[in-house]
Chains A and B, each alone.
Chain A
Amino acid sequence: MSNRSREMLKRIPLYAFLILGSIGMLVPFVWMISSALKPNNEIFTSPPTFLPKDANWGNFIAAWNSGDFTQYFINTSIISVLTTVITLFICSLAGYTFAKFNFMGKKLLFLLFLGTMMIPMQVIMIPIFLMMSKIGLLNSYWSVILPLVANAYGVFLMRQFMSTIPTELMEAARIDGCSEFRIFWQIILPLTKPALVTLGILTFLGAWNEFLWPLIMLDSPDMMTLQVALTQFQGQYEVKWNLLMAASALSMIPIALIFIVFQRYLVEGIASSGVKG
């Protein structure tokens, strides 16, 4: 046997393990889709079937219509998009200021910001709930968006990226009489696209998947987000699992698309969160 083929033989267990492991990781996902396609009588057969005898694509429509899912989808989209846009704006503004300006108390303020990463949301959720109820914002999109945009990790990420941009760019623009905000908006911001994309994706995913904030803040049915609506669906007397699985699958379509298109940014975002220490 040649050296090469011996080398390949040695690798068979490795590949077998990795392929089986990867498939194993995907099984719950396959089970979800397969269950979503089963007709009512097949979902409750014991022992279960692995794949449905015929695919009931109508389940997706039935699931969507079993609640006001269009409204939940709109609610979740508004919250996620606004959270992302506002987070990107204020985090890049703060990151830029920390990276490129000197002002009194800068070091202390930066430490305070970093320190907030230690604060678990479970500690601040009670005061924020009371605040929101005092000012009448309970049951509004803002009651979920505002707590989510206070994101120290975002400020930190933007600061790290902004400090790699040469300061000469800003000085040249100043000599040309460019206003400070225009320097930020038209010169610096376009240069930070990779960081903005990474932070934007992480923020959007986090907001889309957020459960505890909307659970606390939004209690009227027309304000519910998808995540909360799914748990309501689950809490019904007799759960129609095929429809629940179909609704779950529909709720993750935007997430799956982002995963497919932006996987590289996601991977970098997660890996860099480790470097930050």
Chain B
Amino acid sequence: MDLVRSIEVKEGRKHLSAKRYKWKQKLTPFGFMSPVLLIFSLFLFFPVLFAFFMSFHQWGMIGTPEFVGVENYVRLFKDPLFWISIKNTLIFSLSVPLKVAIALFIAVLLNQKIRGLGFYRAAFFFPVVLSMVVVGLVWQWMFSPSYGFINYVLEKLGLPLQNMLIDSDQAMIVLIIVSIWKGLGSNLLLFLAGLQAIPSSVYEAAEIDGASSWQKFWHITVQLLKPTTLFVLIITLIGSFKIFDLAYVITGGGPGTSTMVLVHYIYQEAFQRFDMGYASAAAYVFFIILFILTLVQMRVFKSDSEF
């Protein structure tokens, strides 16, 4: 009798602990997720919605916000400086294909049996880890009209000296050159990863068929690298739309407004003129442009993986 009872009690306990165990299993994931969920809600989900809400208000640092409907957007589209900043951002982004082509070219050169690969890779990659501010400062000094390195070289070569940073037609070219130097390394690595995924048997088969190096490059490398190339193109494009630090440090948007880019415009409206609602409207236009680019990217990738 005693034995039976004690067995029953034990069974009951087991049952209870199994139930508790099940509950614990259900609650654990929520417990684990709660800190990250809190942070994501506070610093991503909420602000992205709130910025949209703000964009329909007149919202200064002091005073009460006032609902103004689409007024901010209307004002934005009428502001010539906004259009100038869009134009400048687009001009800067025109360099994207060039950036991608240079990265691809160097990646192909590096993807062979060569000596000193580690050195070349480190040299091309080093600028990637530097801060935009340091890069901006160094290059501003490189392009200094009277004391900079660029003019030092031009003078040695007997070429006419440059004054690009204070020329409103050429300042953007400086930003493009610097961003090529800064970003080359990361694109290069993406291409190298893509190149290493191409099986060498494909090249060997082409060699047996008597293909020249150029034919191999064009018909094998370029074709098989298409997904990587598209990916690199689009992330470089998205990155170039976000340009701010470099322009802020090297040219400060000048001379005049010749290098005033979209993010700089948003920054200025929000944190120098404290027109928060209006700046939010500009930020949302910026967001929509990037959103469309990202959708294109996902589209492209879906069709690729199907293939």
Contact = CB atoms under 8 A, between A and B. Distances in A.
Interface stretch (B2-10, B35-43, B78-86): B35-43
Interface string B114-144: 1110011111111111111111011111101
A26 interface: yes
A112 B45 contact: yes
Contact of A119 (B30, B44, B50, B109): B44
A25 B123 contact: yes
A209 interface: yes
Interface string B16-57: 000000001010111111011101101111111011001000
A17 B28 CA distance: 57
A209 B131 contact: yes
Nearest to B161: A47
Contacts of B286: 120, 122-123
B36 A91 contact: yes
A89 to B, nearest CB: 8
Interface string A84-105: 0000011101101100011100
B284 interface: yes
A25 B124 contact: yes
Q: Counting chain B CB atoms within 10 Å of each CB, which of A102, A126, A150, A212 scores highest?
A: A126
Given A28-B139, A119-B287, A231 B147 contact: no
A125 B30 CA distance: 28
A93 B32 contact: yes
Contact of B155 (A47, A101, A146, A209): A47
A127 B47 contact: yes
A90 B36 contact: yes
B251 interface: no
B186 interface: yes
Interface stretch (A56-64, A67-75, A191-199, A262-270): A262-270
A248 interface: yes
Contacts, number: 245
Nearest to B49: A127
A94 B115 CA distance: 43
A178 interface: no
A275 to B, nearest CB: 7
Contacts of A205: 129
Given A31-B138, A126-B276, A209-B130, A47 B44 contact: no
A81 interface: no
Contacts of A216: 271
A120 B33 contact: no
Contact of A230 (B137, B190, B291): B137
B43 A128 contact: yes
Contact of B152 (A47, A89, A129, A274): A47
A209 B290 CA distance: 23
A79 interface: no
A123 B51 contact: yes
A170 to B, nearest CB: 11
Given A147-B43, A180-B28, A22 B132 contact: no
B190 A149 contact: no
B147 A44 contact: yes
A26 B123 contact: yes
Interface stretch (B67-75, B91-99, B241-249): B241-249
B301 interface: yes
A43 interface: yes
Given A149-B39, A255-B129, A94 B138 contact: no
Contacts of A271: 189-190, 192-193
Contact of A18 (B36, B110, B245, B291): B110
Given A209-B131, A271-B190, A271-B193, A46 B147 contact: yes
A245 interface: yes
A124 B130 contact: no
Contacts of A227: 131, 133-134
A82 interface: no
Given A31-B141, A127-B50, A270-B190, A97 B126 contact: no
B258 interface: no
Contacts of A234: 137, 140, 249
Nearest to B305: A277
Contacts of A218: none
Given A45-B147, A146-B39, A271-B193, A101 B45 contact: no
B172 interface: no
B51 to A, nearest CB: 5
Given A127-B51, A274-B189, 9 more contacts: A22-B119, A96-B32, A123-B284, A209-B130, A216-B271, A252-B131, A270-B186, A270-B190, A271-B192
14 contacts: A18-B114, A18-B120, A46-B146, A48-B152, A96-B32, A97-B29, A103-B29, A112-B45, A119-B287, A126-B276, A150-B39, A211-B245, A273-B190, A274-B189
